[in-house]
């Protein structure tokens, strides 16, 4: 298994060798939106009502999710964000803010 920290390091190593350098942050933000759109398209066709186009039929959900994660890891590296620490803080925030929120939501019961 790979940790988030290891993933950040491996992406950084790949970018600095095979990738030559990072695209700038705004370019990577645009790429993240593109990859998110591709994931959304596949989700809509797999779990929603839209039918598959011929060009969509060989796409894999895991691969599309990994593309999104890859670019997010790039952005984290570029902006100095440690995603392991950020995710831990996010869990803490949610455990405080949302401790009972969802249990008390009539829409979910």
Is position 17 within any domain? Answer: yes
Is position 56 within any domain? Answer: yes
Q: Could you give the CA distance from residue 48 to residue 27 in angstroms, rounded to a whole number? A: 30
Q: What is the pLDDT of residues 78-104, one digit of tens each?
A: 999 999 999 999 999 999 888 888 888
The CATH number linked to 24 is: 1.10.287.1080
| Residues 23/25/27/32 CA torsion (nearest 10 deg) | 110
Beta strands in the chain (DSSP E): none
Cα 9 to chain centroid distance, Å, stands at: 16
> What's the whole-model pTM score?
0.90
| Residues 7/13/19/24 CA torsion (nearest 10 deg) | 70
Is position 50 within any domain? Answer: yes
The distance between the two most distant Cα atoms of the chain, rounded to a whole number of Å, is 52
Q: Domain total for the chain?
A: 1
pLDDT of residue 92: 94
pLDDT of residue 3: 97
* Structural domain boundaries enclosing 35: 4-82
């Amino acid at each position: 298994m790979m940790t988030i920290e290891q993933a950040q390091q491996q992406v950084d190593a790949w970018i600095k060798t095979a990738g030559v350098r990072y695209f700038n942050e705004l370019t990577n933000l645009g790429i993240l939106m593109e990859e998110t759109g591709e994931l959304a398209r596949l989700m809509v066709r797999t779990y929603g009502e839209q039918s598959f186009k011929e060009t969509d039929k060989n796409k894999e959900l895991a691969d599309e999710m990994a593309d999104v994660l890859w670019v997010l890891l790039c952005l984290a590296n570029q902006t100095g964000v440690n995603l392991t620490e950020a995710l831990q803080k996010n869990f803490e925030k949610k455990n405080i803010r949302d401790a009972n929120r969802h249990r008390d939501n009539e829409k979910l019961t």
